[in-house]
Amino acid sequence: MDNDKKTTVLTLTDEEIVNPGNRACSGCGLGIVYRTALKALGKDTVLAVPPSCLTVLQGLYPVASTKLPCVNVTFASTAAAATGVRAALRATGRDHLNVVAFAGDGGTGDIGIQALSGACERGEDIIYICYDNEAYMNTGVQRSGTTPKGVMTTTTPIKGKLQHKKDVPSIIAAHGIDYVATASAAYPLDLYDKVKKAASMKGGTRYIHVHTPCPSGWGFAPQYTVHIGKLGVTTGLFDLYEIVKGEFSLTGESAKRVGKERTPVEEYFKTQRRFRSLSQELTDEMQGMIDAKWANYTA
Amino acid sequence: MHVIESGNVAAATGVKLARVQVIAAYPITPQTPLTEKLSEFVESDELSAEYIPVESEHSAMAVCIASSTTGARSFTATSANGLLYMNEQLHWAAGARLPIVMCVANRGVGAPWTVWNDHQDTVSQRDLGWIQLYCSDHQQIHDTVLKAFKLAETVSIPVMVCYDGYLLSHTYMPFDVPEQAQVDAFLPPFKPTHFLNPEEPRNFNTVTLPDVRPDLHGNTAPGYMEIRKTLHSDLRAALTEIEKIDGEFGEAFGRGGDPFVEPYRCEDADYVAFCMGSLSYQLRDVVDAMREEGTKIGVIGLKVYRPFPDAAVRDALTAHKGVIVFEKALSYGNQGALYADVKSALYSAETRPFVHNYIVGLGGREIKTHHLYDALTESIKNEAAIGDEPQWVGLKL
Amino acid sequence: MSKEEFCSMISVSEPGPGDGGNTGSWRVVRPVIDLEKCIPAKTGKPSCFNCWLYCPDAVVTKTLPPTIDYTYCKGCGICAEECPAGAITMVDEASFTKEEK
């Protein structure tokens, strides 16, 4: 992405496609992600959305907060629904529109992974954006496949989650699709450029996985959404990268960290109540995993 | 044009003539040859449509839901467990009022695994808000597919075209295929009122509250219950449309009549056998034999199961002494679902025939003509002794 | 019945603001911008706009000076937290009179 012209806060469009007064919680990371991604997609876009916090953000009948056509679909079917939208747009001569699936981590990596894998294997002409808030937030913070190890959720209430986070973007990348990227709610400009790039690569499947802090689910005061999202990246826990036709590269803040010191991951854990029961042993284990991962990154 | 082909090909030919725009399907026995034929039509450019080889039936219906919402005529087909895997999607398609047409080659459901015919798959899905039409031969399959698209798009309700797996799906029979121009005149292109369109952005199937609520223009928008009530009342109103479309089809193609029930030798009949699907044609042989012996008996095949045409059923049955309902499905722990529906329709009649319930052919158990003969004879003879409990035909243990 | 008479009720929503109502009423603390400190306000040049960039609810304007729509601002405080000049203070809603609200 370094060869492309990067968007700055001054060049970022001030057109808003999401209306204020929506039902998202105060300080919602998804609010930043959704608002920014839709700026990049523009109005020639059709959305497919499964049940998730986004359903709530979008509003209840008969008023919608989003100025885009959107089909709400069943939990497991988002990528297949996006496939259907694309097929119908081709059949009705409107193939120029973006077709975008927008789902949470459960709707993507757990219940929705079969339809998503099918769509990726077929190379469907869709953009799939997963906002990963690392648990089932809309139903009240139950563990998901992408909940990190040790995290307290309402279904891991005493011992914390016993398994590590599922690496969904790597699973998707293994399908060999044209574009896979990660992004963070704390770096909206990086996210914006990735969504723009995805939109420009029409023809194949494009996937963007966005780390999305959640004040109520993670246990922090709402003003820290961006601060904590940044810590997720500067500690090296969640990396910003893209895989363009198989070529991996770190981007933005993660690219800047290669060969430099990273914030200890403990600093990140300390900011959130969901990590309150994390043992020193597990903290060390996680730090070790991050260090091992970063040992493989070269400038 | 007259052809001799399988029931699945009769369905595929109808789908092609309907100029369907999006097809998504996942293979399952005995529906498979239908999807194979459709992919062949699309790959050979005989049919200009998008064919999506999805990874599951759940996704097949997801594609159809989305493509129909986007404004394209959409089709899928399945059987048995495939239909059941779609279950939440089927409710969704009806609630979203999408005119999707789906063929179901009827098959028993597991466990234990069976690939053979009965009606448990579609009968168990009778409360979805879909229209369910049943066919008795290949011509009916072909014609019903064409009528189904017109019906679905008139009433904005999805339609299932059901036909017996193997017995119809895989057997070969002659049927007439109309010219494309004739079909085009009968079935205009799909033009939905609302569809996914950035120029008029709308959010479909939004969370809807228990109560009514003002919209942006100060009008009262319905709550969930009003929307669902409308689905029901539109299904009831669809009965009139079914009759109308059957009439239009008859004028255009010279076939049809009897939109709801298909009677055979019933005029003076004391007793009537009642069932759905190809079984009604098999029962005609039994009726002929029993008539020769002096029993005044006829048979009625039900063509529309949902919405249930209770007035037509009542009219067709009240004049007789007895009605013997044969079913390839069961509402387990109660009775045959069709049997219950027939009895319910007759409740308000001034004179009511006795009604018996015979369960036949589950999981493809062969239905011998002499079994049907025995069942009818027993039913007539032991009228008073047989109660509501379903009688099982053809059990060997 | 005509085609239009069928399907008279479906859940199809129109875009509009404030489906959640005036979400400003959720607020317990209010972001107040000190224009003496705010970089674009102070310099009179378009710059910074972190408050606009990070706002989850699109209630801050990218203008000189930036403004906040208190009808919908939920008071999360991200703008105050991310302001590099410390120009935004979160003030207790109770300290405002009814008119100011």
Please choose, from the candidates B2, B28, B158, the residue with its C-alpha nearest in 3D space to the C-alpha of residue B95.
Answer: B158
CB contacts, 8 Å: B65 with chain A = 71, 73, 77, 81, 84
CATH class of C23-95: alpha beta
CB contacts, 8 Å: A20 with chain C = 17-18, 23, 57-59, 69, 71-73
Q: Answer yes or no: is A15 within a domain.
A: no
User: Cβ B71–A122 below 8 Å, yes or no?
Assistant: no
Is the separation of the CB atoms in B24 and B60 below 8 Å? Answer: yes
Say whether residue B234 is in contact with chain C using an 8 A CB cutoff.
Answer: yes
CB contacts, 8 Å: C46 with chain A = 10
Subunits with at least 3 CB pairs below 8 A relative to chain C? Answer: A, B
Pick from A20, A21, A223: which is nearest to C81 by CB?
A: A223
Phi, psi of C77, rounded to the nearest 5 degrees: 90, 5
User: If you measure CA to CA, which chain A residue comes closest to B195?
Assistant: A69
The strand pairing partners of B301, in sequence order, are B262, B275
Q: Answer yes or no: is A9 within a domain.
A: no
Instruction: Calculate how close chain A gets to B348, using CA atoms only, in Å.
Output: 40
In the predicted model, what is the mean pLDDT of chain C?
A: 94
- In chain B, pLDDT over 70 holds for what percent of residues? 100
The pair of structure tokens assigned to A130 is: 């997963």
Please choose, from the candidates A73, A51, A87, C7, the residue with its C-alpha nearest in 3D space to the C-alpha of residue B92.
Answer: A73
User: Cβ B230–C9 below 8 Å, yes or no?
Assistant: yes
What's the pLDDT at C21? 86
Instruction: Calculate how close chain B gets to A188, using CA atoms only, in Å.
Output: 24
User: Cβ B198–A43 below 8 Å, yes or no?
Assistant: yes
Give the mean model confidence (pLDDT) for residues C6-15: 92
Tell me: ipTM over 0.90. Answer: yes
B327: Cα separation from own chain's centroid = 14
Q: Answer yes or no: is A16 within a domain.
A: no
User: Cβ C3–B154 below 8 Å, yes or no?
Assistant: yes
Give residues with Cβ within 8 angstroms of B213, minimum separation 6: A60, A61, A62, B220, B221, B223
Q: Answer yes or no: is A290 within a domain.
A: yes
Q: Answer yes or no: is A275 within a domain.
A: yes
Q: Answer yes or no: is A282 within a domain.
A: yes
**Tens digits of per-residue pLDDT, B342-394?**
999 999 999 999 999 999 999 999 999 999 999 999 999 998 788 899 999 99
Q: Answer yes or no: is A276 within a domain.
A: yes
| Number of structural domains found in chain A | 1
Instruction: Calculate how close chain C gets to B85, using CA atoms only, in Å.
Output: 25
Q: Answer yes or no: is A191 within a domain.
A: yes
Which residue type, as a one-letter code, is found at position B86? M
Is the separation of the CB atoms in C33 and C41 below 8 Å? Answer: yes
Cα-only R_g, chain C: 19
Measured distance CA(A67)–CA(A46) in Å, rounded:
10
What's the pLDDT at B240? 98
**Tens digits of per-residue pLDDT, A62-101?**
999 999 999 999 999 999 999 999 999 999 999 999 999 9
Say whether residue A26 is in contact with chain C using an 8 A CB cutoff.
Answer: yes
Say whether residue B97 is in contact with chain C using an 8 A CB cutoff.
Answer: yes
Q: Mind listing the domains of chain B with CATH numbers?
A: 2-186 (3.40.50.970), 261-392 (3.40.50.920)
Instruction: Calculate how close chain B gets to A55, using CA atoms only, in Å.
Output: 7
User: Cβ C1–B226 below 8 Å, yes or no?
Assistant: no
CB contacts, 8 Å: C39 with chain A = none
- In chain B, DSSP assigns E strands to 2-6, 22-24, 50-52, 74-78, 101-106, 131-134, 159-164, 172-176, 203-204, 213-214, 220-221, 261-264, 271-276, 297-302, 304-306, 322-327, 354-359, 391-392
CATH of the domain at A196: 3.40.50.970
The strand pairing partners of A131, in sequence order, are A104, A210
**Tens digits of per-residue pLDDT, A173-209?**
999 999 999 999 999 999 999 999 999 999 999 999 9
Backbone φ/ψ region at B150: left (φ over 0), alpha (ψ -120 to 50), beta: alpha
User: If you measure CA to CA, which chain A residue comes closest to C77?
Assistant: A223
The pair of structure tokens assigned to A78 is: 């988002």
Q: Which domain holds residue A55?
A: 29-295
Say whether residue B193 is in contact with chain C using an 8 A CB cutoff.
Answer: yes
Pick from A35, A65, A67: which is nearest to C19 by CB?
A: A65
Q: Is B397 exposed, middle or buried (0-12, 13-18, 19+ CB in 10 A)?
A: exposed
Tens digit of pLDDT per residue, chain B (397 long)?
999 999 999 999 999 999 999 999 999 999 999 999 999 999 999 999 999 999 999 999 999 999 999 999 999 999 999 999 999 999 999 999 999 999 999 999 999 999 999 999 999 999 999 999 999 999 999 999 999 999 999 999 999 999 999 999 999 999 999 999 999 999 999 999 899 999 999 999 999 999 999 999 999 999 999 999 999 999 999 999 999 999 999 999 999 899 999 999 999 999 999 999 999 999 999 999 999 999 999 999 999 999 999 999 999 999 999 999 999 999 999 999 999 999 999 999 999 999 999 999 999 999 999 999 999 999 999 987 888 999 999 999 9
Interface size, chain B vs chain C, as Cβ–Cβ contacts under 8 Å: 53
